[in-house]
Structure 1
Amino acid sequence: MLVGVSAVAAVSLGIGVAAGSRITSPEDAAAKTAAPSASQITVPVEKKALSSKVVGRGDASFDGAVNIRVETSGMTTPAIVTGKVPAVGSTITEGKALLEITGRPVIGLAGVLPMYRTLSPGSKGPDVLQLEQTLGRLGLNPGTVDDEYTLSTSAAVERLYEDAGYDPPEPDKGLTQALDGAKKQVDAAKKQLRTAQAQLKAAKDAKAKDTSVQQGAVDDAKANLADAQEARSEAEVKAGTPLPVSEVVYVKTLPRRVDDVKVERGGTVNGVVMSASGASLVVVMKVDAETAQRLKAGMPAALELDGTPIPAKVRRVSKNGNQYDVVVAPNKLTASQLALLRDANVRVTVPLKSTSGKVLAVPVAALSSGSDGGSRVEVLRNGKVELVPVTVGLSADGFAQVTPTGDASLAEGDQVVVGK
């Protein structure tokens, strides 16, 4: 019995010890499951080129669609389309006919003022100035560029029509008849002067004592000739080549691409004849006001087409409601690129600033401010953290250019603390 009791006691003791070894206090359990002490998270200092840029997407289209209207109110016959009807996709070129009405051309010119009246010698105004500026730009020599339509302007208009392949407009018949009459008056005055001069010479040859009558006749003939020549000059001016209101249309910029044609051969013109957009394809990217302030016309850009960058430039930045439109135009396109870009949505990149080659760079998260307001980074060296003052340069893509200041040192590969 004693042996049995001893054996039971020994077994119970073993069980108690085993169970006791498996029981822990709450404090011991918390100590065993607590997170380890925080340590620094570091990344190496890199040497890389930095470039800040605006990246977005935009829709490709042809720039600036406008409606083209021909003013036919001054025509004496119905405005029937007789030819030169353009095809959609064709290009309107400055100085060339974009349509024919009653056998006469409608010539496209670049300008902001519409053609609202027929211009002829003696006309004055801002529309005359615009015309002469345009003729001068086309190399047609309108003489002095001002707001007065002169014979030099008429001559330049004649050259404009000749270059377009048409006869210049004819002046009113009454004006040409007046010019013919003025020319005949000059011829008659010249004949009168010759007769008077011959009579004066004959009197002098006969040694007449008094030739005052003959001399008076010569003086009168000269005055008559001067008056006749002045009248002829005025008639020539009035009978100069006019520019009919129905034969020119001004479009803000040219060349342009024809998007839609509203008339057909044999039809009557009544208002808009076609719509046209800029001949060059552009991509419009929408940005907010803050981004728009960083962009300006002339900045280089790139369009990404099937992974291939196409060099481009920012053409303009304009407000459109609560956003801004950034219009980007490719520098040059092949026919295949033009076909792929038309109506496509493409990636647009506009570089803003870049470093000259590779520079020391750290993540922006590694930067902190000291008590003096200067920037610094924490560098882990030999298990210890050192504060290294730095000057911060360009920031881009989450990195910042840094340069150690004073005697501090910082090199590629150094571990900077970005968190714990």
Structure 2
Amino acid sequence: MSETTVVPEDTSTELHPPSEPDRPRRHRRRGRKAVIAVGVLAAVAGAAAAGLGFAGRDGSGGGSAAGLPPATADVTRQTLKDSQSEDGELGYGTASAAAGRVPGTLTRLPDAGERITRGEALYEVDDKPVTLMYGATPAYRDLKPGVEGADVGQLERNLKALGYSGFTVDDEYTDATADAIRRWQEDHGLDETGVVELGRVVFAPGAVRVDSLDAQEGAATGPGQKVLSYTGTAQVVSLELDTADQRLAKKGTKVAVELPDGTRVEGRVQDVSTVVDPGNGGDEEATTKVKVTVALDGAKAQKTAASYVLAAVHVFFTAGERKNVLTVPVAALVALPEGGFGVEVVRGSTTAYVPVETGLFANGRVEITGEGIAEGTKVGMPA
């Protein structure tokens, strides 16, 4: 459900939209989209062109007018907040696959949902561990004396974090690195070769949570055979937006996430990507969606959401906010014949059209500035 909130100036301007204690709760909801300024301005222009008010009521294009408008509204000073809510799914984000590289028999697999950290076995082949280490570069070759590269650097950083020493952390695999690897191999029951064979280590950005198993203990494994899938351990919210609402989700934007029990926690847009669904090639047309991942901010938010492994949630975006601005109802705008927009200012028994600049549109109101426009100024409204 789309929401556009107007917050009076003397109220809190914190991120979260006001709570709605009397609103019936539903498990899922999909609602109206927020007002888009371009569409509103087009509607105003169209109404004016149809004769709803190009100039002064005496046809002069300005100055005093003979008649008064059928209704008036006051210019108010307030905070405008353009906010919108979307349905999302609480979980652990996109899963990555761990494919076998070391040939043999799977002798131990973790449980789905199990958490594995640096230096622990992700699974075992022939009773020997395939170990998790942290890093952004996937393993793609044997690591041995004489090789250089980013994968060497991240291996050495892991060795140091696990308590091994005697080598320099850099991008070069030296004899000193090989000595440290031999000690690591001895500690894990591996052959003490000083070489890390391809597939003996799996690199992931951080600790992982086993999402699903794709093989069984006792099954044969080898290069390219999928063993399991894993995610990160921090909960995130996944959702889709229409392309028209992409303005809401800029990377780093703060949001509020409402959990199933009504509790709200803080979040931040972590990733935004555009995905095209080609359709079925028949009556179903191709569609474009914006996929958004929202991270829950901080340990408190993670702890609050911990009891929900997978759940439907609501994400509240704030597309724009203007504090302490002058506003009028959108319906008060009129298109001027010389271009741009204005409002019909009412003073006593006379009116005059005053050009204005428009700003944020929210909840049927629009921010305006113009000569002589002040809080309490009366402007004309349609019947």
TM-score range, shorter chain: 0.5 to 0.7
The aligned amino acid for 2:378 is Q
Question: Number of paired residues?
Answer: 300
- What does 1:289-308 align with in structure 2 at a 5 Å threshold? 289-293=243-247, 295-305=249-259, 306-308=261-263
Taking structure 2 as the reference length, the TM-score comes to 0.67
Aligned residue for 1:104? 128
| RMSD, aligned CA | 3.2
CA distance in 2, matches of 1:140, 1:377: 74
**1:313 counterpart = 2:268:** yes
Aligned residue for 1:19? none
- In the alignment, structure 2 segments of 5+ residues that lack a partner are 1-66, 277-287
Q: 1:57 aligns with which of 87, 93, 101?
A: 87
Q: 1:156 to 1:276 in 2, by over 3 A?
A: same
CA distance in 2, matches of 1:98, 1:113: 17
Q: 1:47 to 1:140 in 2, by over 3 A?
A: farther
Q: 1:339 aligns with which of 266, 288, 307?
A: 307
Q: Secondary structure at the match of 1:339?
A: coil
Cα deviation digits, residues 214-258 of structure 1 (max 9, x gap): xxxxxxxxxxxxxxxxxxxxxxxxxxx22133421233x322211
Q: Going by fraction, where is strand more abundant, 1 or 2?
A: 2
Aligned residue for 1:243? 196
1:319 Cα offset (Å): 1.0
Aligned residue for 1:145? 170
1:91 Cα offset (Å): 1.5
Give the percent of matched residue pairs that are identical in Structure 1 and Structure 2. Answer: 31
CA distance in 1, matches of 2:379, 2:169: 72
The aligned amino acid for 1:348 is V
Q: 2:374 aligns with which of 410, 414, 417?
A: 410
Contact between 1:71 and 1:116, CA under 8 Å: does it hold in 2? no
Aligned residue for 1:349? 316
1:288 Cα offset (Å): 2.8
Cα deviation digits, residues 145-187 of structure 1 (max 9, x gap): 22x421232244357668xx6356412xxxxxxxxxxxxxxxx
Aligned residue for 1:166? 188
Q: 1:353 to 1:157 in 2, by over 3 A?
A: farther
- What does 1:194-273 align with in structure 2 at a 5 Å threshold? 241-251=194-204, 253-270=205-222, 271-273=225-227
CA distance in 1, matches of 2:199, 2:257: 42
Q: 1:166 to 1:385 in 2, by over 3 A?
A: same
Q: 1:384 to 1:160 in 2, by over 3 A?
A: farther
Q: Going by fraction, where is helix more abundant, 1 or 2?
A: 1
Q: 1:399 to 1:258 in 2, by over 3 A?
A: same
Q: Secondary structure at the match of 1:152?
A: helix
1:418 Cα offset (Å): 2.6
Contact between 2:105 and 2:218, CA under 8 Å: does it hold in 1? no
Q: 1:168 to 1:101 in 2, by over 3 A?
A: closer
- In the alignment, structure 1 segments of 5+ residues that lack a partner are 1-36, 172-240
